[in-house]
Amino acid sequence: MSDEVISAASLKTEKPKDKEMYYKSSGFYDLLNSQKNYGEEVDRLLAKIEQHKRSAGNRLLDIACGTGEHVAFLSKKMDCEGLDVDPEFVKLSKEKLPQLTFHVGDMTTFKLSGKYDVVTCLFSSIGYVKTKETLKSTIQNMAEHLVPGGLLVIEPWYTKQTFKCGHSTVVVEETEQCKIVRMNLWKGTDDLALGHSHILVMDEAGIVHIEELHELALFTNEEYTAAMEEAGLEVHYDEYGLIGRGLFVGIKQP
């Protein structure tokens, strides 16, 4: 986690139209996700990469990299870059890992000049692609950044069958500078999971209340598989994956 001091007075409470869903809370994203064991997840991921990768290189691009926590562990074994749509996340990643390259870009449309041996999209970030058509074009775009024999690794969001409407969580974290409470309530439609987040941040400057809405598509495993196969990938599925949400591994064919 970044050593930057979080201040309630400095938090962004107005969300510009061109910013993404974590714009207001990016400064304390790591604190709110401190329960994640990134090192353990990366160990599982590296085992999958070793099992399936057929290319000879070692270049990895982490899409929707957030604040760079997965990249921090992956970079101990691979030559890593990161990409995220949120400039604030990219800024935090660069501060954390100044020796690495991070790009601002949308997973659905990004174009980089290089090719990679592994492209990852973790922590269910693919769920923010909300239609089947965009899922297909996004996976095609990711696959086009692979060398032959390279891997596309996608950690999916929940499916219609596994999503629990009405599920709620409460996270409470405290540092020397502040106390934070986040309450999440998940509702849903036929095709979308709707996550309502209420966050309270308290420090000596006062209390700030932030609301965020997260909309993630409820694709089926068959839809993920079909999109990856259409992109020219040989698909393997691990039911548990990194944290119990499953994991798709696609090998780019020659």
For residue 81, pLDDT beyond 60: yes
Section 33-56 average pLDDT:
98
State mean pLDDT over 62-66. Answer: 98
Whether 233 has a pLDDT exceeding 90, the answer reads: yes
The pLDDT assigned to 210 comes to 92
Task: Output the pTM of the full model.
Answer: 0.91
Question: What pLDDT does residue 10 have?
Answer: 41
Averaged pLDDT, 195-212: 95
- The pairs formed by 228-237 with CB atoms below 8 angstroms and a separation of 24 or more are 228/139, 228/143, 228/152, 228/154, 230/136, 230/139, 230/140, 231/136, 231/139, 231/140, 231/142, 231/143, 231/152, 232/143, 233/139, 233/143, 233/152, 236/52
* pLDDT tens per residue across span 161-194: 999 999 999 999 999 999 999 999 999 998 999 9
Q: How confident is the model at residue 254 (pLDDT cuts 50, 70, 90)?
A: confident
Give the amino acid at 224: Y
CB-CB contact of 60 with 120 (8 Å): yes
Pick the CATH number of 38-159+219-252 from 3.30.70.3280, 3.40.50.970, 3.40.50.150, 1.20.140.10: 3.40.50.150
Mean pLDDT score of the chain, rounded to an integer? Answer: 92
**Residue 109: what pLDDT?**
98
Residue 209 has pLDDT above 90, yes or no: yes
Q: What are the tens digits of pLDDT across the range 118-133?
A: 999 999 999 999 999 9
Q: Is the pLDDT of residue 21 over 90?
A: no
pLDDT of residue 5: 38
Structure tokens at 50: 């070793």
The pLDDT of residue 24: 65
